[in-house]
Amino acid sequence: MGEVHVVNGNYSAAEAVKAVDVDVIAAYPITPQTPVVEYLSEFVANGELDAEFIHVESEHSAISAVVGASATGVRVFTATASQGLALMHEVLFIASGMRLPIVMTVANRALSAPINIWCDHSDTMAQRDTSWIQLYCESNQEIYDTVIQAYRIAENEDVLLPVMVCYDGFTLSHTLEPVEFEPEDEIREFVGEFEPIHCKLDPEEPMTLGPVGGPDSYMEFKKMQHEAMKEALKVIPEVNSEFEKRFGRSYGDGLIEPYNVDDADVVIIAMGSVCGTIKHVIDEHRSDVGLIKVKAFRPFPGDDIRRLIEGKDAVVTIDRAHSYGSMPPLWTDVKAHAPDVEVSSTIAGLGGRDIRVEDILEVIEVAEKGEGTDEPVWINVNV
Amino acid sequence: MIEVRIHGRGGQGAVTAAEILAIAAKEDGKYSQAFPFFGVERRGAPVQAFARISDHFIRVRCQIYEPDHVVVLDPSLVGTVNVVKGLKEDGVVVVNAREEEMNHLSEELGDYDVYYVDATSIALDELGVPIVNTAMVGAYVRATGTVSLDAVKDAIRMRFPGEIGEKNVSAAERAYEEVKEL
């Protein structure tokens, strides 16, 4: 049995990193992720975590350092948000292209301009195509559980892709709530030792990693990355169910978590902490509404979502990011997999705009009226 | 579910007060959430912090607009900010104020159930600094019974181990004893 502590989301992430016993951490502080770096520094400094903590001068260096460390075959961690993640951008492709099982948490935050430190998903959505697995969390417990599972997923031989664990800045990162921490020896047993199978940087057995791949081979590498993502669609549910057997907690099948969908006429599709508020609205106000919480955005479990929304009276997505000049990312992915289903699109909660109960009720109304199918409806906006 | 809004000034420990309440709720076998008003804080500027306490896991994650209870750490905030904004009709206000200040404050606080305690004097006596958060949590739980005093004491000791924790426990106990209904 674990022990319940009342902690914020950043602490949940740091506690999970400690529990999996990472070897190298390199991170640079940025609001609202900063406490993760502080907690981990403290764990390393006071001997609770036997890891190398590399203090770097930027996020570009942080991700570069963990790429290098991971290539030597050790378990690594980094964390960032917003502009910091944007600064990592070019190296994110290198991490996935070199098939390094790096785990990174992102405390989701908007991007400038205007300067904004509050939550939305613009930062991680902008990294959608970097070939990183992206898992989104609803609660602080889910952050802890997902970071632990992320190592199992990333290090799986059939996957070998980096994982981004995304959680909403402030709404989770700075909110305290009860979280059950499991005994560290049990977590370490669950995650196991990381042993690189194919390649690692080793002076005893020199090899080159990440060299030139010309027109004759580049495409093969890229197609294999896509195949690995498809493998992750199988591995994520396996890890989710193994975690459930061991620790008694699960999040749907690990890819999506349907809530009241079977009995629902209207289905909302959403990601992150707003899913908690949506469940609250379903319980208190609208038992005829269901929710599909998308936990895995990459790989995208589009066929599972299509099966659940086919035949429903109304379906609506909530995006906390936008693709300016087109439709927002969650809606676009849903429609790509369910072209025959009418899906309404809403945009809410950009730059920390609170998503209130009345906003969820408005989202439901948008769906029921069939609005927003070719142009997103902006919720609680004054222009 | 009980929703609490805490008004203070940057440096008075409003966020810590909300956290202590949330930890105390867990010690009482309840579920809780505590969060700051998301943003940038400056010492002395009006700040807010929030707590939710329930018998069930709390899923709702929007901010609190219609609190059941309001705690005011600084009497000068009453009239400066609308501390009773959205407060439910049968809501409770617990304010740090001396008895002689209450005549003037009671006008601003309307018909709500109001409790007051001179937490500044208690904090100065017990801690030597005017940080009133732990005293006000003690007064708050006496006024509302949301969580037990024992749980609050446990939570304070967890948050502030050692001697400083014991001083804060004394502050909470004294405010618990000295709080009065208007």
For range A139-162, the mean pLDDT? 98
Which of B19, B59, B63 is opposite residue A280, by nearest beta carbon? B59
Q: Provide the pLDDT for residue A357.
A: 98
Q: Write out the two tokens for B135.
A: 């005293």
Candidates B38, B52, B64, partner chain A, best to mutate (most A CBs within 10 A): B38
Q: Provide the pLDDT for residue A210.
A: 87
Q: Domain A3-247 classified CATH 3.40.50.970?
A: yes
Q: Do B58 and A177 touch (CB under 8 A)?
A: yes
Mean pLDDT of the residues in chain A: 97
Band (A198; pLDDT cuts 50, 70, 90): confident
Q: Provide the pLDDT for residue A90.
A: 98
For range B7-17, the mean pLDDT? 93
- Amino acid letter, residue A329: P
User: Does the pLDDT at position A286 exceed 80?
Assistant: yes
Q: Which chain A residues are closer than 8 Å to B30 by Cβ? A: none
- CA distance readout (Å), A152 to A235, A289, B96: 9, 34, 51
Q: Do A279 and B65 touch (CB under 8 A)?
A: no
For range A130-150, the mean pLDDT? 98
pTM for the model stands at 0.97
Q: What is the pLDDT of residues A213-270, one digit of tens each?
A: 999 999 999 999 999 999 999 999 999 999 999 999 999 999 999 999 999 999 999 9
Q: Provide the pLDDT for residue A197.
A: 82
Query: How many CB atoms within 10 Å of residue B66?
Result: 12
In CATH terms, the fold of domain A256-378 is Rossmann fold (3.40.50)
Q: Do A354 and B62 touch (CB under 8 A)?
A: yes
Band (B110; pLDDT cuts 50, 70, 90): confident
Band (A202; pLDDT cuts 50, 70, 90): very high
- Every domain of chain A with CATH number 3.40.50.970 lies at 3-247
Candidates A3, A167, A175, A281, partner chain B, best to mutate (most B CBs within 10 A): A175
The whole-angstrom distance between A46's CA and the closest CA on chain B is: 17
Q: What is the pLDDT of residues B29-64, one digit of tens each?
A: 999 999 998 777 788 899 999 999 999 999 999 999
Q: Provide the pLDDT for residue A166.
A: 98
User: Does the pLDDT at position A142 exceed 80?
Assistant: yes
Q: Do B33 and A176 touch (CB under 8 A)?
A: yes
Q: Is the dihedral of CA A356, A362, A366, A367 positive or negative?
A: positive
- Give CA–CA dist B62/A276, Å, rounded: 9
Residue B91 belongs to domain with CATH number: 3.40.920.10
Q: Do B59 and A274 touch (CB under 8 A)?
A: no
Q: Which residue segment(s) compose the domain that B98 sits in?
A: 2-181
Q: Do B59 and A283 touch (CB under 8 A)?
A: yes
The whole-angstrom distance between A254's CA and the closest CA on chain B is: 19
Q: Do B36 and A174 touch (CB under 8 A)?
A: yes
Q: Do A176 and B36 touch (CB under 8 A)?
A: no
- Give CA–CA dist A99/A72, Å, rounded: 13
Q: What angle do CA A353, A273, B70 make, to 5 degrees?
A: 65
Q: Which residues contact A367 (CB under 8 A, 6 or more apart)?
A: A266, A268, A314, A315, A316, A344
For range A147-158, the mean pLDDT? 98
% residues pLDDT > 70 (chain A) = 100
The whole-angstrom distance between B177's CA and the closest CA on chain A is: 27
Q: Do B34 and A175 touch (CB under 8 A)?
A: yes
Q: Provide the pLDDT for residue A135.
A: 98
Q: Do A276 and B22 touch (CB under 8 A)?
A: no
- Give CA–CA dist A200/A72, Å, rounded: 5
Question: Which residues of A lie inside 8 Å of B (Cβ-Cβ)?
Answer: 4, 6, 117-118, 170-171, 174-178, 273-274, 276-277, 279-280, 283, 352, 354-357
The whole-angstrom distance between A116's CA and the closest CA on chain B is: 10
Q: Which residues contact A88 (CB under 8 A, 6 or more apart)?
A: A59, A60, A62, A63, A80
Q: Provide the pLDDT for residue A199.
A: 80
User: Does the pLDDT at position A130 exceed 90?
Assistant: yes
Picking from B20, B181, B19, the residue whose alpha carbon sits closest to that of residue B112 is B181
Q: What is the pLDDT of residues A2-33, one digit of tens each?
A: 999 999 999 999 999 999 999 999 999 999 99
Q: Which chain B residues are closer than 8 Å to A280 by Cβ? A: 59-60
Looking at the structure of chain B, the number of domains it has is 1
| Location of structure tokens 């300016």 | A324
- Give CA–CA dist A53/A89, Å, rounded: 22
- pLDDT: which is higher, B38 or A96: A96
Report the residue of chain A nearest B65, measured CA to CA: A356
Q: Which chain B residues are closer than 8 Å to A4 by Cβ? A: 26
User: Does the pLDDT at position A1 exceed 80?
Assistant: no
Report the residue of chain B nearest A274, measured CA to CA: B61
Q: Do A277 and B62 touch (CB under 8 A)?
A: yes
Q: Provide the pLDDT for residue A106.
A: 98
Candidates B62, B63, B159, partner chain A, best to mutate (most A CBs within 10 A): B62
Q: How many CA atoms lie within 13 A of B110 on its CB side?
A: 13
